[in-house]
Chain A
């Protein structure tokens, strides 16, 4: 009954979900619908049909049954690098979206540091067109400045009109406070946030890991935590001054989190996200000299990690985002100080959320909804999927018990630069449904 849909590049990956699918006896979580119970959910023609407590009789479609699964409205990863256009050897929109689907996400927001950068309406349109046939919604984030140079504003209005959901010079710090001020003011008109890569490059240039005991012991020049905190403080002040909307990308230090916490108490519209690697690893991991422990911001101290867990618990941290940053093997298989920053993250995010947060009782499933479903979409001002009869089926079906390793699977990202490849993770994404298509992990 389900037709196989062949994608442009020839892979057989998504099936159409236009037939009837029953997700049987599953823990459904959608606080917007006051759902937190074991239910049976029928999907019909890509839409959510009946949601029932009792098992439907004589169901004649496909049945998905998995005891330890949770069903969420589709998870979103609001910070990924898809590398297309420019570095299709590392990732494409298609392969990145597939990695997202395999990771349990039905949507991603992609950062503009491509080549050419997402700095014109044409590139925004290109990404949207490429993503159109894919299961995963791909929301482009536009560059703040032309050529991402931090000098002149890019055509933000045009790009917002074409569908850019935020602006960011991610990957490069925006050092000029005047430019940041204008960006916050200008973006207000379209109600899109400025997503800040917070780093004072005078403090961080030519440095490769967190500055602290381990950088001292390893002799690797260290990036001080103040290089992030100074910029978070500056941009909170500029946000207050301009009335714009500001989001801290990949927050990583205790003081940055404190600054956001204080700003929120004052009612300043600031939000922030954290990556799975920052809530899992510390700078001690660099002792291996594995270049897959090199990312920016760097893995921080154990004290910073504790503050991140507090921020996740108390709601200071709004979102979990992977900062999925694919790099070729050739680039990463280098000396530590010559390797590029960044690791992949889409396919291991859920396993780390279960292993490091849920199983350690840092957060609960409703927090996952907050961090991975609703808050990122509120920040980016995009529609929030609901588990409600008649709605488009935009769903993530996620297991909480299976132990698995990414290295035992083929993996869908074109790049393999992750420190978690051989780590045993608990919790496996099972399937995602969106746009009338279903992707199931084998």
Chain B
């Protein structure tokens, strides 16, 4: 597990025991969030840098809150332009920050492998907060925590992931994490957004959303980026909604209740209709709460903590 090497780069590289450890630890931190005083001294004296090369609101805030609630000192470095365009290399940026004696780096970057690159070059613990369309491990872990709150076991659990699979780090991390825990995954979306040879990751593919809905326990609905329409992956958002949008009418045909998840931010009326997003089966806001707890657990474990000591 990468905790042994001190990093969380992706769920591909994390073994089952460590996934279970994270999920278990998260429960303890989740309790803290319901206390009147939501702060513990666990990471006092540790410094965390949130290095965001891509615009992000919720992931960055979630990490910041997790850091603050663990009493770590955290600083934010955000830039929407790439390091190359700024004229400073990612390596130089990172070395500069490390020279300021920090302990952990949370990185969000548009290039796959950016977190690996830092892990190779810096001594700090690296947490991948999304590297291009590669991985977003903390998102998948919070998805798994949320699923575990509503389902007894991952074993044999049927999870549908719907939407833009080809450009989704959330999808890839979910596939790795859920498959390791024994869930069955079916991907659904326009054929133009299903990446080549993805079956080799051990997933099924389905192009008919109604067939998928008839079969699954959980639906993880991905955000559709508006620019995908402009680059010709599908003809219009209207057509997308018509053929892949999750609506109440569609869900009513299911024989059992389906847990509805979404990594946010949601495009109401595109990939998901409002009544579904706000329905009793939607756990979208639980995901957000769990996101803070999962990130607290990861920061804690990376800092060398033991679950029992909590």
Contact = CB atoms under 8 A, between A and B. Distances in A.
Contacts of B196: 211-213, 215-216, 222, 224
Contact of A289 (B91, B116, B169): B116
Interface in B96-144: 109-114, 116-117, 131-135
Contacts, number: 69
Contacts of B226: none
A215 to B, nearest CB: 7
A217 B110 contact: no
B132 A338 contact: no
A335 B113 contact: yes
B195 A215 contact: yes
Nearest to B111: A335
A333 interface: yes
A219 B109 CA distance: 13
Interface string B132-165: 1111000000000000000000000000000000
A337 B132 contact: yes
B112 A218 contact: yes
B75 interface: no
A334 interface: yes
Interface centre among B117, B169, B172 (most CB of A within 10 A): B117
A216 B198 contact: yes
Interface of B: 12, 82-84, 89-91, 109-114, 116-117, 131-135, 166, 169, 172, 195-198, 200-201
Given A211-B196, A336-B112, A337-B112, A219 B134 contact: yes
B194 to A, nearest CB: 9
19 contacts: A212-B196, A212-B197, A213-B198, A216-B166, A216-B198, A216-B201, A219-B131, A219-B132, A219-B133, A220-B132, A220-B133, A220-B134, A289-B112, A333-B89, A333-B91, A335-B82, A335-B114, A336-B112, A337-B110
A330 interface: yes
B121 to A, nearest CB: 9
A289 B84 CA distance: 17
Contacts of A330: 89
Given A220-B132, A220-B133, 10 more contacts: A211-B196, A216-B196, A216-B198, A216-B200, A216-B201, A217-B201, A219-B132, A289-B116, A333-B91, A334-B90
A201 to B, nearest CB: 15
Nearest to B9: A289
Nearest to A224: B196
A336 B116 CA distance: 11
Contact of B195 (A216, A289, A333, A337): A216
A289 B9 CA distance: 12
Contacts of A213: 196-198, 200
Contacts of A224: 196
B61 to A, nearest CB: 24
A219 B128 CA distance: 14
B120 to A, nearest CB: 8
Contact of B111 (A212, A216, A217, A338): A338
Given A212-B196, A334-B84, A217 B113 contact: no
Contacts of B135: 219
Contacts of B131: 219
A335 B82 CA distance: 10
Given A289-B112, A335-B83, A335-B90, A219 B172 contact: yes
B201 A220 contact: no
Interface string A207-233: 000011101111111101000000000
